[in-house]
Every structure is written in C-alpha cells, then in structure tokens.
Structure 1
Amino acid sequence: MTHNTSTLTIITERNQPLTASIYTPTGKGHDDIKDAIMIAPATGIKRLFYKSFASYLASQGFGVITYDNEGIGDSLTCPLPKCDASLISWGRHDATAVLEALQDEFPNANYHLVGHSAGGQLIGLMPNYQALSSVVNVACSSGRIKNMDMPFKAQAMVFMDGAITLGNLLLGYTPSDKFDMGEPLPRGVAKQWRDWCNGKGYIKTAFGKTVFTHYYDEFAAPSLWLNFTDDDIANAKNVDDMLAVFTAMPAEKRMMTPQQFGLKHIGHMKFFSSKTHAKAPELWQMATDWIQAHSK
C-alpha cells in the first residue's frame, strides 16, 4: 500500500505555528482510517528524521502525523535567541495541539502515540492524554546522568553542564548540533534538559516548582517500551527511573540487544533508520503489532 503526504500548519495555545506532515494510505479517505499515530520527536530532532518510519506506518494502513517542535526545523519562526519554548511547552502545548490535529484529520480513528526519547517523556503534560488508546516509547528513559556509564557519562556532563550553560550565556541558545545532539536548542529547552537530567525522575524534579499541573499519576494507556542495550542514555536504570514517574501506566518493557537482530548497533537513534528496518523488519513490526492489538 502506498501513501500520500501533505504539510499542515498547527497553531498552539501559545499562538505558535508548528509545521507537521500528514501521511495517509493511498485509496483510503481520512474518515476511513481506523488507527492514527502521532510520532512525538526526541529533543532537537526534526520530523524529517521519522519520514521512513512514518511512510512504513502509512503503508500498513495507518494515518500518521509527524511534526517539528517549536523552535526546531520548520517550526523555528524567529531568531533562535528570541524563542522562549521549553520542554514544558513542548509537552503541554505542542504535543497537545498535534494530537488535536490528528483527531481533526482522522475523525473516526483510534489514536496512538509513538514517542522517541523526549517524545515519550513529556506525554504526562498533555491534558488530552485520555484520547490515546496506546503508547509505544522508543529509547525513552529519564536520561539521568548519574546512571550512565563512562566514558559517555563524562561526555554528557561536558555537554549538559558546560556547553548548555556557556551556549545559553554567550549565544542565547545551545548549539547542540556542534555536539551531534540534534538541532540547536532554544535556551529554555536546553536549561530544563540539563536540570532534569541531573535529577531523579527527569521531569519529576520540577513537580511543585515549575510544573504544577500534570497527568503522570493518571496516564493509564497501555505502553510498550522498546530499548536497546547499546543505548548509553536509555539504559535499564534510566528506563525504570522514567517509568516510576508514570505511576498508573501499564508498561511492557523490552530491553533488546542489536545482535538479536543481526545488527551491530541500534543505540538511541537507529530504530527509526530505513537501513535498520531493511535488515531487521521485525523491529517496526513490534510497534504495529502493539498498536493493532490495542485498537478499540
């Protein structure tokens, strides 16, 4: 099954425009789609990164939306130092507006979320979370630096405590791209990223301080967590650290090795690679099997 792709502009409650892509299976009207999927991106990762995975999902009959968070890719609409986006606004406003857009595009569907790293961390900020029938989180964890192993732990400390602090001070933003950490980040996003990764439970460190309303204790959609042993960030301790914040979420954890699939490396990013899919199609099949099993 082939698919069609279109571009959509979404306006958030902050009156910020987000650029999104809609993937629709060829031969199906939007009203005919049974299951629609929102792909929530990792920190500083553009929606284009998920194009192959989104195309695959559409080829399997799903409606799909991908998007750039405020301040990233095509959703950067002002000089980056003037962008006041934060991780909180990405979860509370961006993800919320994108799910509403998915509902508008495919009005008769069940709705699911595939979260990559931060895309899965922030879903407890979405006031419309109850619309989700299921979640698949990939490479998602608290990212707590204390739980990382050397030498990656040292690299993370240099980036988090050095590059973010100096970049924000000198440039008004964090040049994450210079450290192979995604797109340049709005200073508010980077600061919260640093603060939360230096504490226990990621966003939990902000509860009662900068986060006063959240749904982490109520989010009860069934979830599948796909993680890999060669991921320096989302290791087993950090997966459990993040899961502990979702106190009501039923979760199935799968910690896998690349070698199980005849691969040398998957890590934090390569689950979504078309090359990975060509060699190990069963990985993407895990996601579609889960979503189909939780279609109402």
Structure 2
Amino acid sequence: MPEGAVEQAVDFATPDGALLAGRLTLPPHGREPALAIVLHGATGVPRDYYRRFAAWLSVAKDAAVLTYDYRDFGASAAGPVSRSDATMAVWGVVDQATALDHVCQRYPQAEIWVVGHSLGGMCLPFHASAGRVARLIAVASGPAYWTKHPWRYMPAVIAFWFLLGPLATLMCGYLPGRLLGLGADLPKGVFWQWRRWCVSRGFYRADWGRTMPHPVPDRMTGSVTLVGIADDDMMPPERVRRLAEFYPAATIRHRVITPAEAGAKAIGHLRLFAERNAQAWPLLLEGGV
C-alpha cells in the first residue's frame, strides 16, 4: 500500500435488497476529499484485484476511491453461485448505479469520477447520477462482437461462446470459470446475457426495453477517456473506440496503452491494474487525443 493510504469497509444495499461489499480508500491527511472516485470492475474480477491501484489513485489524486464486488460475487457473495439470479444487466445497471449513488451521497460537494474496467465502463448512460460525473475513464471497455477479434483469438472465442461455455453452464448451473481457466465462477444469468450481447451485432442494444431499461445517453456531459490496450485480443482498441457511440454528449478522448509503456512484455485485457504494470497507471489520468 502507498504510505498513508487508509481503508474503510463500507457495505451498501441496492434498491432490490442486495448487499454489496465495498472498500473505501482514503488519502492520508484526514481531510474531506474534494474528489471522489468509484471503480466499477470487469466481469469476474474481484475488488481485491484493484486494491493497489485504488490506493495509488487515492494518494495520487488526493481522492476517496470506492471499490466493491457485484452481487453474488467475491466479497458480496451471499450463497452458492448456482442459486444466483444475477445477470450482466443487474450488475451493470443496478449494482453500478448503487455504487455511484453511494459515492455521490457520501461526498455531495466533491467532484465525481468513474473508472470503469470492461463492463465497468459501459453502463453509465443507465445511471440516474451520471450527470454528477465529471470524468469517466473507461479501460478495455466497448461493444464486443464475436467476429471482431484477431484471428489468433478466434478458437478461444468459438469455444467460449458456442462450445465449452454453454455446455459447462448447462451442466453445472453456473459458469465454472475456475475449471475453464477464467479465474472465477459466474452466475448462469451473467454468462447467458454476456453471451447474447457478444453474439449480437448491436451488443447490449438487444436487451434495451426488455431486461434493461433504455439508456439516457445525454446524461453524461463530462469528459470520457476511452483507453484501449494495444495487445488486448478480448477487447481490441478498435472496439474500445466504438464505445464513443454511447456517450454522444460527452467530450471524448482516446488513448491506447502499449506493453512497452507499462514496462511489460504483455498486458492483455485484464492485467493493466496489476501492480507489476503500475508504471502505466499515470497514463490513465492523461487526457488522450
């Protein structure tokens, strides 16, 4: 942990009664911060993975930083994953909105930022408090489509969406992510909706007005930095650029981070927030072009 960073456990409930386990990281001086940041994680990535980054960000920006786990996952798990009825929409619309509301209510005078990793950067237009957000930094986030990956990655895509993923989820009653080498087990509803989005050309537009409300795109009028990772086969930088379509009223900037800038041989979709790539963290705060 950076010297002086302070952590507090904070639990908060969603409107439908799910209890989310959060961690608030504060700078060392003890004053009320003028900047508050909520970090929405990627699918299947627990809050603890972002712990070092949150501490660095808190000290670097003199900010309060909230990290948390989505319902029925990580520290927010309330029972066996096989019993969960969570979906990607619930995580992205309800749980993310609740986390943002919590930060806005806790720090009513502060400037509000959002850092979103993958799923974490896509759903701000669905959140009622989006108008409070001065800046969104969306990392490796965008409308995926299964044919828009590099050819070298296509065998994994086909296996996950059309073979092993569906079969394993049907057999187990949840996605056995640990068994499949994905790091975490996920509720079946998360997998099936995630799959529907990624095999639909309109991505999550397929569920607008059905299992998701319609977004209000012009809620976000602040700054949006779309950060792609040069060697990310799961979310190529070209797909990250497409996320701008969902933020028409915002000021959009683009940034692509290379492994060389992180002092690494590879980063990929998930590893930018690992401590070994901390050399690249200040690049996330740059404006881009």
What amino acid sits opposite 2:247 in the alignment?
A: F
Distance between the aligned counterparts of 2:82 and 2:43, measured in 1?
A: 17
Please name the residue that 1:55 is paired with.
Answer: 55
- Work out whether residues 120 and 140 of structure 1, in 8 Å CA contact, stay in contact via their aligned partners in 2: yes
- Work out whether residues 241 and 254 of structure 2, in 8 Å CA contact, stay in contact via their aligned partners in 1: no
Distance between the aligned counterparts of 2:174 and 2:56, measured in 1?
A: 35
TM-score by length of 2: 0.91
TM-score by length of 1: 0.89
Distance between the aligned counterparts of 2:7 and 2:73, measured in 1?
A: 20
Structure 2, unmatched stretches of 5+, are none
Distance between the aligned counterparts of 2:215 and 2:160, measured in 1?
A: 28
Choose which of 25, 28, 31 in structure 1 pairs with 2:27.
25
SS in 2 for 1:53: helix
What amino acid sits opposite 1:284 in the alignment?
A: W
Structure 1, unmatched stretches of 5+, are 291-296
| Moved beyond 6 Å, runs of 4+ | none
1:231-285 CA-partner distances (Å, limit 9, x unpaired): 00121332233332333332111123222444211211221111111xx2xx322
- Residues 112-127 of structure 1: pairs in structure 2 closer than 5 A: 112-127=113-128
- Work out whether residues 12 and 21 of structure 2, in 8 Å CA contact, stay in contact via their aligned partners in 1: yes
1:107 matched to 2:104: no
250 and 238 in structure 1: CA distance in 2 versus 1, 3 angstrom threshold: same
* Structure 1, 217-226 or 88-97: larger mean CA deviation: 217-226
CA RMSD of aligned residues (A): 1.8
1:35 matched to 2:35: yes
**Aligned-pair distance for 1:76?**
1.0
Distance between the aligned counterparts of 1:152 and 1:289, measured in 2?
A: 30
**Aligned-pair distance for 1:286?**
2.8
Distance between the aligned counterparts of 2:230 and 2:248, measured in 1?
A: 24
**Aligned-pair distance for 1:153?**
1.7
225 and 136 in structure 1: CA distance in 2 versus 1, 3 angstrom threshold: same
Distance between the aligned counterparts of 1:287 and 1:260, measured in 2?
A: 11
- Work out whether residues 174 and 185 of structure 2, in 8 Å CA contact, stay in contact via their aligned partners in 1: yes
- Residues 69-218 of structure 1: pairs in structure 2 closer than 5 A: 69-218=70-219
**Aligned-pair distance for 1:84?**
0.8
Please name the residue that 1:294 is paired with.
Answer: none
* Structure 1, 137-146 or 184-193: larger mean CA deviation: 137-146
Distance between the aligned counterparts of 1:101 and 1:91, measured in 2?
A: 15
Please name the residue that 2:46 is paired with.
Answer: 46
